Amino acid sequence: MRVALIELGSTTCRLTVNTGGEVDRRTHHLHLGASVSSNGSFTQNDISAATRLTQEFMTAAKAHNCQRVVAVATESFRLAANGPAVASHIEREAGCPIKILLPEEENILIWQATADRLLNLDDLTTIALSGGSLGIASGRLGSRRPEHNFSWPLGTSVLAPRASTNGFVETSTRVRLENHIAESLKSITAEINQTEDSSFVIVGGMPLALAKLVNTVRRSEVPESLDGLSIDCSDLGHLIKTFSELSTNSRLALPGMNAKRSQLMPLGATILRQSMRSLGVHSATVSTAGMKDTLFSRLIAEPKAA
């Protein structure tokens, strides 16, 4: 069965088409979260760009003869005062129903996708950093869904207008942000299981980009696969210092740097390091798993169940 998934994220909008034998992916960075953070609502330019892109995605899905197309929207649509209205507008113009995911729904999808890849674990905690939110979910794998589920609007795109200037985070701003993250996570640390058999896995495009950069510098070669790479607080601290000392062009010259995410990487490193610190986690692995994996599994399974 040919199926397609459209994700309207806070930094990136993505089309993924699964034809059964191969996967086609298309990605565009609209940075909707930054616009909503600055304006409180989607602007007309945001609406036009998101509508046009969704229409293009739908045309591509039809060209692949997809029997089902599902579209989901995340934090920027939750934060925007006109989020539901814009989603309805895009639905009408593009001809595709859009579901605005609740924060806990997004976390469950990510946690389940990660758990499906790591069947040998007993207890799993996922730290998901996206353009719109920071989500933490924890539970025993046998339960098939996380026991603890938390989310905050602490994503890189959402915070960028207030915490970053031209890709730089001032020291005073970084300290205030770290204190804010620490205070936000303070109430949950006792609930997150940190026993000897618990495992912490970090997911999201920004953590993967940071892990790639760290491991490229460490090994002097680009890793063949990002899945399973390790990243620790000292790595992130070194990156934060390096970013503060380099110009934008010098950053782009770093081996393993993701050019499209370079402006947000100092902020991403700050958010991720403080999140790990607050949870008492010095080192963790990153995973390429994401909510799209769970959504695709459900899409493919539904016709079989019927």
CA distances (Å), 69 to each of 2, 77, 96, 231, in order?
Answer: 9, 19, 7, 35
Q: Are 296 and 18 in contact (CB under 8 A)?
A: yes
For residue 225, count other CB atoms closer than 10 A to its CB: 7
What are 51's two structure tokens?
């509508």
- Provide the CA 197 distance to its chain's centre, in angstroms: 26
d(CA 117, CA 210): 21
- In angstroms, how far is the first alpha carbon of the chain from the final one? 13
- Provide the CA 291 distance to its chain's centre, in angstroms: 9
What are 255's two structure tokens?
């081996």
For residue 45, count other CB atoms closer than 10 A to its CB: 10
Locate the domains of the chain by residue range: 3-101, 104-291
- DSSP 3-state assignment of 66? coil
d(CA 137, CA 75): 16
Which residues, given as ranges, of the chain have pLDDT below 50? 305-306
Q: Are 29 and 11 in contact (CB under 8 A)?
A: yes
Write down the pLDDT at residue 219.
75
Summarised one tens digit per residue, pLDDT across range 68-79 is 999 999 999 999
Residues in the chain, total: 306
Write down the pLDDT at residue 305.
42
What are 271's two structure tokens?
């958010």
Percent pLDDT > 70 in the chain is 96
Write down the pLDDT at residue 114.
95
**Residue 67: what residue type?**
Q
Same fold for the pair 3-101 and 104-291: yes
CATH code linked to domain 104-291: 3.30.420.150
Q: What angle do CA 11, 130, 120 make, to 5 degrees?
A: 140
What are 89's two structure tokens?
């507008």
The residue behind tokens 């959504």 is 295
What are the backbone angles phi and psi of residue 140, rounded to the nearest 5°? -80, 140
Of 227, 232, 253, whose CA–CA distance to 242 is shortest? 253
Whole-structure pTM value:
0.93
Write down the pLDDT at residue 211.
95
CATH code linked to domain 3-101: 3.30.420.40
